[in-house]
Structure 1
Amino acid sequence: MGIINFQGKRTNAEKKETEPILVSDYMTTTIISFKESEPIENVIQTLIENKISGGPVVNENNELIGIISEGDCMKQISESRYYNLPMDKNNTVGKAMIKEVETIDGNMNVFDAVNKFLESKRRRFPIVENGKLVGQISQKDILKAAMKLKGNTWK
């Protein structure tokens, strides 16, 4: 006598489509930003106090106009030493910032963002919607996302 199955006809299990993991799910929305007219010394102090390596530069309408990093600040220090002068109070963010800024779309998949980080060798990307700065994603944010996804399917 064989084994009788009383469960009835089996149907194929529906495959669940996994939702894409978006940059907007892991981006930082509390951003330390700078103004174009700020002195470099203020930026240096802010970077040190907040233990960050740079930040976006915005205008009065919160539109992204540049980005400034520790490296940009160090160039200003190096130039003042070259001329054997103290750092000029007129050294502003506007003179030191990078104006050509790459951004990431908040609707981009986190795994696509990883590729963008690897290709560009940047540490952070601003996220802009309708011309306004809405967030920022860093390499550390991506690593946090990866740790949360550990064990899930990676799509």
Structure 2
Amino acid sequence: MVKSFQGVRLAEPKKAPEQAVLVQDHMSTSLVTFHPDDTIDYVAQVLTQKKISGAPVLDDANNLVGIISEVDCLKEVIKGKYNNTPRIAGRVREYMTRDVITMEPEITIFDAAHRFLDLKIRRFPVMKAGRLLGQISLSDIIKALPGLKSTTW
């Protein structure tokens, strides 16, 4: 007869499953938005005051129709310099990016980080059921990193 000398084994305590860290946990929800009829002059002023580099463009029905950035404003500045016009009078609709790539609120920030790297975009509007919920930026992802555990990343 063979006896086991391993002794009593204690069952490992069951761990609660780790919760994924989602885009909705780190996105900005108090957004600056613009209208397609706003002037680039106004956009540049707001972006500078708010210390942001871009924002969604919404139509009268609050539908996302584009995104405008500092780079888009720079295009109008260059056009004004070329035409020797000191004012930045172009409209958002002329310069905004119309084919906006969006993100869902339920994806992990790890997947979001991959999208930022793959697409080389600085911000994504966060949409659900056709409505704008917020925006996640590259800096939002970077700010989330120190609080992540190896089990949630």
Separation of aligned partners in 1, 2:109 and 2:94: 33
- Paired residues of 1:64 and 1:128 also in contact (CA < 8 A): no
Separation of aligned partners in 2, 1:125 and 1:70: 15
> What is the Cα-based RMSD across aligned positions, in Å?
1.6
- Paired residues of 1:127 and 1:136 also in contact (CA < 8 A): yes
**Mapping for residues 101-120 of structure 1, pairs under 5 Å:** 101-120=100-119
Q: CA deviation at 1:142?
A: 0.8
Aligned to 1:137: 136
Separation of aligned partners in 2, 1:154 and 1:105: 19
- Paired residues of 2:103 and 2:126 also in contact (CA < 8 A): yes
Q: 1:14 to 1:100 in 2, by over 3 A?
A: same
TM-score, with structure 1 as normaliser: 0.88
Aligned to 1:94: 93
Aligned to 2:16: 16
Cα displacement string for residues 54-73 of structure 1 (whole angstroms, at most 9, x for unaligned residues): 11101122211000000000
Separation of aligned partners in 2, 1:36 and 1:112: 31
Identity of aligned residues (%): 38
SS at match of 2:33: coil
Unaligned stretches of 5+ in structure 2?
1-6
Aligned length: 147
- Paired residues of 1:36 and 1:59 also in contact (CA < 8 A): yes
Unaligned stretches of 5+ in structure 1?
none
Q: CA deviation at 1:86?
A: 2.6
Cα displacement string for residues 3-62 of structure 1 (whole angstroms, at most 9, x for unaligned residues): xx7xx6522332432111110011110000100000110000001101111111011222
Q: CA deviation at 1:148?
A: 1.1
TM-score, with structure 2 as normaliser: 0.89
- Paired residues of 2:77 and 2:88 also in contact (CA < 8 A): no
Cα displacement string for residues 120-150 of structure 1 (whole angstroms, at most 9, x for unaligned residues): 111111011121111000111111211111x
Aligned to 2:151: 153
Separation of aligned partners in 1, 2:91 and 2:34: 10
Match of 1:33, as an amino acid?
Answer: T
Aligned to 1:68: 68
Cα displacement string for residues 91-115 of structure 1 (whole angstroms, at most 9, x for unaligned residues): 1101110101111110001100000
SS at match of 2:73: helix
- Paired residues of 1:76 and 1:87 also in contact (CA < 8 A): no
Is it true that 1:51 corresponds to 2:51 in the alignment? yes
SS at match of 2:12: coil
